[in-house]
Amino acid sequence: MSGRPELKLDWCTHEAAKYAVKHWHYSQCLPSFKRTKIGVWEDLVFVGCVVFSMGAAPHSHCPFGIARTELCELTRVALRQHSSPVSRIIAIALRMIKRQSPGLRLVVSYADPEKGHHGGIYAAGGWLYLGRTSLCEQFEYVATGQRVHTKTIKTGKRGRATKLKEQGVIRSVKVWKHKYAMPLDAAMRAQLEPLRKPYPNRAGSAGSGTPGDQPGGGGATPTSALSVSRQPERE
């Protein structure tokens, strides 16, 4: 016997995904747009989740010549200490979401160099590297030193947006990220292959490309918050 833990992925509740992201992902929040949440277990212990969503950019599908409903974004990989490779977990999650949404043709994801990520898990999983996103003013620092997304200041919840405006913007920053894509059918892969670029150099340790592998939170196992609605994936 190899001693490798049994890995299982299954659909999970909002509460379970929220718990995982709050404790084991640097953002500490779930994306606000429509999302699909997949829980991850090792030896029946809940170790985190993978979250797919429609993404924040409403026109992200346009460069690929596909419909909005044919593309989604891998937005969170929130895992506590675990044994299974992250690339393996993502590969299983991709199979699940492809079965759930047969019309889906492409999944994209981003690695943030400001967080020390270069996308090593995507390279390990055979994703296509499409280069860097364009520089754009996305974040602003207010007088308290807090970094806030520009959209939050302009169109966020009324009370918070007003408070941030009153604090005043003291500095804007331009950011970029590494962009990766996983085609889900042969035609889409053939279309994107000419756009493939060499993978970026490793920025640090093997885990530096992991967008959400944030250890911590102790041995919490919110199994009671999880729902099993379909046959789980095991490996």
Give the model's pLDDT for residue 155: 54
Give the model's pLDDT for residue 163: 58
Give the model's pLDDT for residue 135: 55
Q: What secondary structure, in 3-state letters, does 32-62 show?
A: CCCEEEEEEEECCEEEEEEEEECCCCCCCCH
Average pLDDT of the chain is 77
Give the model's pLDDT for residue 22: 94
Write out pLDDT tens, residues 191-209.
999 999 999 876 443 333 3
Give the model's pLDDT for residue 195: 93
Give the model's pLDDT for residue 58: 64
**What 3-state DSSP class applies to 205?**
coil
CATH superfamily of domain region 7-132+177-234: Gcn5-related N-acetyltransferase (GNAT) (3.40.630.30)
Give the model's pLDDT for residue 14: 94
Task: Confirm whether pTM is higher than 0.85.
Answer: no
10 pLDDT band, cuts 50/70/90, is very high
Of 63-67, 97-101, 161-165, 211-215, give the range with the top mean pLDDT: 97-101
Write out pLDDT tens, residues 125-183.
999 999 987 655 455 544 565 555 555 555 555 555 555 556 665 455 567 788 999 99
4 pLDDT band, cuts 50/70/90, is confident
More confident position, 174 or 101: 101
Question: Taking the domains of the chain in order of start, what are their residue ranges?
Answer: 7-132+177-234, 135-175
Amino acid letter, residue 34: K
- The per-residue DSSP string of 62-104 comes to GGGT--GGGEEEEEEEEE-S-SS-HHHHHHHHHHHHHHH-TT-
98 pLDDT band, cuts 50/70/90, is very high
